Amino acid sequence: MKIKKAIIPAAGLGTRVLPASKAVPKEMLTIVDKPAIQYIVEEAVKAGITDILIITNRGKSVIEDHFDHSVELENTLKSRGKTDILNEMNRVANLANIYYIRQKETKGLGDAVLRAKEFVGNEPFAVLYGDDVIVGEVPAIKELCDAYDKYGKSVVGIKEVSDELIVKYSSMKIEPLSSNTYSITDMIEKPSLEAKFSNYSILGRCVLSSKIFEILEHTPLGVGGELQLTDAMKEIAVTEGMVGVDFSGTRYDMGNKFGILKANIEVGLTHPETKDELRDYIKELAKTL
């Protein structure tokens, strides 16, 4: 079944990137010349997704402004003959059908996903975490949608992470299916090192069946007193099994300071307008380190 709908939870408080995220949502922090959330919307669109629900909250209306037309700006660009950037502004405003809903309290990623129940209906749908940018030839969410088509099971994007990170993320119980695909039969959110299943963790992407909503409705609050999406997915993993895809792109965590720096340097080294200058600058700078 072709996956046409996606949700982007973007209602978190972003406490790890304060003060940057106080008045500007972390999803709007830039990588070179685009906010993180635009990379994520573009990834979804490239994967054939047409309808996107962004979960926001108070203070995140700039996300809506970003994907809207700005008549004054567009008229000015037109009168100044700046056609290229005008076309780019129009492209951004017409990327997809984008809808918004507010999560009134930040009660966790599971609660944010539950806000999408009416939007999703009975179809499988994609989830792209608003602060995880994945850059690569093939859109990561397409790799997951293809696995959903092939195996008919809910899918998560996974990567191997260090012990230091696994205790902050989630840990998957896995068996290999093919070179980059795994069968997942259990999972745990923010495990202790003794409780971890493996060092494979979910990083920023999933494709879920709409069954997740009824599970979320009876899932008790988990780690941190929040409704954890991992706790609900665990029920699917244990009863039906899930699939993990070790996606091919590079993931940048825009929810932490070093992730933002890495994203800007690595994407800056491939961006046509910055790559040469940045490479020369880094080479010079490296001599002084």
Task: Tell me if 245 contacts ligand UTP by CB under 6 A.
Answer: no
Task: Tell me if 222 contacts ligand UTP by CB under 6 A.
Answer: no
**At its nearest, how many Å lie between ligand UTP and the CB of residue 101?**
11
Nearer residue to ligand UTP within complex by CB, 114 or 184: 114
From 249, 255, 259, 268, residue interacting with ligand UTP (rule: CB under 6 A): 255
Residue nearest to ligand UTP according to CB distances in the complex: 12
b/e sequence 61-91, b meaning 16+ C-beta within 10 Å? eebeebbeeeeeeeeebeeeeeeeebeebee
Task: Tell me if 244 contacts ligand UTP by CB under 6 A.
Answer: no
Task: Tell me if 157 contacts ligand UTP by CB under 6 A.
Answer: no
- CB atoms under 10 Å from CB of 285, counted, come to 9
**At its nearest, how many Å lie between ligand UTP and the CB of residue 81?**
38
Nearer residue to ligand UTP within complex by CB, 54 or 172: 54
Task: Tell me if 31 contacts ligand UTP by CB under 6 A.
Answer: no
How many Å from the N-terminal Cα to the C-terminal Cα in the chain?
53
CA-based R_g, the chain, Å: 19
Task: Tell me if 9 contacts ligand UTP by CB under 6 A.
Answer: yes
Task: Name the burial class of residue 151, with classes exposed (0-12), middle (13-18) and buried (19+) by CB atoms within 10 angstroms of its CB.
Answer: middle
From 52, 109, 156, 172, residue interacting with ligand UTP (rule: CB under 6 A): 109
Which of 225, 267, 241, 251 has the alpha carbon at shortest distance from 110?
225
Task: Name the burial class of residue 273, with classes exposed (0-12), middle (13-18) and buried (19+) by CB atoms within 10 angstroms of its CB.
Answer: exposed
How far apart are alpha carbons 249 and 92 in whole angstroms?
Answer: 22
How far apart are alpha carbons 148 and 146 in whole angstroms?
Answer: 5
From 6, 63, 66, 103, residue interacting with ligand UTP (rule: CB under 6 A): 103
From 129, 200, 247, 252, residue interacting with ligand UTP (rule: CB under 6 A): 129
The contact mask relative to ligand UTP for 36-75 (x = CB under 6 A, - = no) is -------------------x--------------------
Q: Which amino acid is at 86?
A: L
The CB-side HSE value for 152 (13 A sphere, CA atoms) comes to 1
Task: Tell me if 131 contacts ligand UTP by CB under 6 A.
Answer: yes
- Residues near ligand UTP (CB under 6 A), total: 20
Residues that bind ligand UTP (CB under 6 A): 9-16, 55, 103, 106-109, 111-112, 129-131, 255
